[in-house]
Amino acid sequence: MIMDITGIGSVADLAKTAIERFFPPKMTDAEKAQAELGLQEMLQQREARLTEATKSIIVAEMQQGDSYTKRARPTIVYAGLLFIFLMHVFLPGYAFFFNKAVPTLTLPEEFWWAWGGVCSVWVIGRSTEKRGTKNRLVEMITGTK
């Protein structure tokens, strides 16, 4: 079970498969085992570097002094609400009160998917945060420390 959680099992399987497919069949079992161990070590080092790079990027984003960047998610939420208000409340209300034809403007489907996805993630993060759960994922979603 631990091997599946850490990903070591998948690295070992990948290394073994690569050795079996791409190395000459006349290699001895000892040579194949040595090559497999070397390949596993290289793959694990690569994964460790990728994880460390991802971590450093997230840490750098969270430690930056620009508080607006940290508030970008709420800005997207509020901008979306503004667009919805303009398209579905203000313009039809304006047309109604000034006896104009009600415009048939609609927001594109892509807007609803993107805005709905951002809102969903942000609301889940804020709700989790307000319940007292503090972890890196919640901090990343809400932009707080």
Q: What pLDDT, on the 0 to 100 scale, is given for residue 3?
A: 40
CA dist., res. 89 & res. 82, Å (int): 10
Q: Give CA separation, 98 vs 12, 87, 89, 90, in Å.
A: 72, 16, 14, 12
Question: Does the pLDDT value for residue 5 go beyond 60?
Answer: no
**pLDDT reported for residue 110:** 93
Q: Is the pLDDT of residue 1 over 50?
A: no
pLDDT for res 69 = 59
Comparing 101 with 59, which gets the higher pLDDT?
101
Per-residue pLDDT at 109: 92
Q: Is residue 26 pLDDT above 70, yes or no? A: yes
Question: What does pTM read for this prediction?
Answer: 0.43
% the chain with pLDDT above 90 = 10
CB 35 within 8 A of CB 19: yes
What does the domain layout of the chain look like in residue ranges? 2-63, 67-142
Which positions ≥6 away from 121 have C-beta within 8 Å?
Answer: 73, 141
**First and final CA of the chain: distance in angstroms?**
33
Among 20-34, 53-67, 115-129, the least confident range: 53-67
Of residues 90 and 122, more confidently modeled: 90
Q: How many CB atoms lie within 10 A of CB 12?
A: 17
